[in-house]
Amino acid sequence: MTSASVSNMTVQVAASLSTASQNQNQTTKDDFMKVMTNVQDSKADVQAKSKDVGNNLTVAKKPSEIKQVESPTNNAEAATKVTQEVDEFAEDAKKLIADELGVSQEDVEKAMEVLGLTFLDLNDTTNLTKLVSELTGSVDNVSLLLSDSFSNIAAGMQELFQNLEKDTKFSLAEIKDVMSQVSLSS
């Protein structure tokens, strides 16, 4: 191969690459235009469908016909009932814990004060464990958690919490909210 042939071949390869590059650019441009056209067509289709849906919408009830959901925080009577139920719940919980551990109800109240707990806080096993540990003087939480007394207290408290929610017809979160509002207003 002579230098003229190599030179000529280089020109042909360069021209060929240039043509391929132009074809690829044209293909890329064509693909881009197709995508943009599809997007524009889809947008028009979505707008047409949304207009169709919008024309068929109806309002089920006038705002004045919508009944406000009863909540203990927006109903003084419900708040009073919740407060009474919580008081009964606290008495039952205090009795359950005192009887199971063989301590007085006053001891239960004092331990709760020391720990800064309310009876509604005892739905958390950690808080219940702290209280029982305080009342029994136990430092071994593993043996405490495995004891029959703790199991009985935990099961009894779970039942008391379920009954409280059933009796008030409100969730524990709503009950706690009411009680915090009642304590703020006192």
For 113-164, write each residue's pLDDT tens digit: 999 999 999 999 999 999 999 999 888 888 888 889 999 999 999 999 999 9
User: Which residues have C-beta within 8 Å of that of residue 44, sequence separation ≥ 6?
Assistant: none
The residue among 135, 41, 102 whose CA lies nearest residue 144 is 135
69 domain residue, yes or no: no
- Please list, in sequence order, all residues whose beta carbon lies within 8 angstroms of the beta carbon of residue 53, skipping any fewer than 6 positions away: none
Q: Number of folded domains in the chain?
A: 2
The amino acid at residue 85 is E
Read off the pLDDT band of 183 (50, 70, 90).
confident
Average pLDDT over residues 159-170: 94
Instruction: Residue 83: give the domain boundaries.
Output: 76-185
**Two tokens, residue 146:** 């495995």
Residue 66 lies in a domain: no
